[in-house]
Amino acid sequence: MIARDEAPGSVREIRVPEADDILDLQDEQDAAANAAPEELVSEASADAARQSLEALTAAIAPAVAAATVAAPAPAGRTMEDVVLDALRPMLKDWLDANLPSLVEAMVAKEISRITGKRL
């Protein structure tokens, strides 16, 4: 047996959302697109990591510049973008505290492996 409201030809009531029910992210998206991104690693951490990597490069071979092509950014903000923006400050703090020592230890280990000498 078919219910009356689902019978063929019956008119269904369509609910139109009110203005309060609509979440408009356009303003937030425009503000995020116009904001300059904050650096993820402090200048001191970047310099320490750069020096360690330069030492590794000098131990292996002459410097070779590698060109990379950046992928084009997709239109609009995704959930991944929102999560990355939320995690960015925590990641920056952790990298500032730990990156120089991690890079230095890994570079020293690699130099030791390559040269056969313990540093």
Nearest to 114 by CA among 54, 58, 64, 76: 58
Show me where the domains of the chain are located.
Answer: 40-59+78-119
Does 108 score more than 60 pLDDT?
Answer: yes
Give the pLDDT mean for 89-103.
91
pLDDT in tens, 34-53: 666 678 888 888 888 888 88
- The overall average pLDDT reported for the chain is 74
**Mean pLDDT across 80-88:** 88
pLDDT class of 66 with cuts at 50, 70, 90: very low
For a pLDDT cut of 70, what percent of the chain falls above it?
55
Q: Give, to the nearest 10 degrees, the angle between helix 79-115 and helix 43-60.
A: 40
**Which of 96, 92, 113, 104 has the alpha carbon at shortest distance from 44?**
96
